[in-house]
Amino acid sequence: MADNSESKALYPCIIPTIVPDYLRSHGFFLTFFKLLPISKIVFIGPESLREYVEKDSAENVFGNNIIEFVAEGSLVPFTPVKTIYDELVSQNLSKNPSSVNWYYQQFLKMAYARVCPEEYYLCWDSDTLPIREINMFSESGKPYFDVKFELQNSYFVTINRLFGFSKIIEKSFISEHMLFNCELMKEMLDEIEKTNFKGSQFYEKIMSAVGADNLFVGFSEFETFGTWVAMKHQSKYMLRFWKSFRNLNFFVDISDLTQEDIDWLAISYDAATFEKYQETEEILTKLFRDPRYREKLTPEQFYISILESGAMGEYKDGKFKYGDGYAPI
Domains located in the chain, CATH noted? 11-241 (3.90.550), 244-327 (no CATH)
Quick check: 274 and 249 in contact, CB under 8 A? yes
Confidence (pLDDT) at 164:
97
The sign one gets for the Cα dihedral 43, 154, 207, 222 is positive
Q: What sign results for the dihedral spanned by CA atoms 27, 28, 29, 33?
A: positive
For residues 261-286, average pLDDT? 92
**Arithmetic mean of pLDDT, 86-115:** 92
State pLDDT tens for residues 234-246: 999 999 999 999 8
Burial class (CB in 10 A: 0-12, 13-18, 19+), 197: middle
Q: What is the pLDDT of residue 61?
A: 95
With DSSP H G I counted as helix, E B as strand and the rest as coil, what are the percentages for the chain, rounded to 5?
Answer: 45, 20, 35
pLDDT at 316: 73
Please tell me whether the overall predicted TM-score, pTM, comes out greater than 0.85 for this model: yes
Q: pLDDT tier at 309 (50, 70, 90 boundaries)?
A: confident
Q: Of 3-7, 147-151, 277-281, 310-314, give the lowest mean pLDDT range.
A: 3-7
The residue-averaged pLDDT of 263-267 equals 97
Give the bridge partners for 271, in sequence order. 130, 244
- Average of pLDDT values for 206-228? 96
> Quick check: 231 pLDDT over 50?
yes
Task: Provide the residue count of the chain.
Answer: 329
The CA distance from 243 to 272, in Å, is 9
Nearest to 2 by CA among 40, 45, 34, 26: 34
Average pLDDT over all residues of the chain: 92
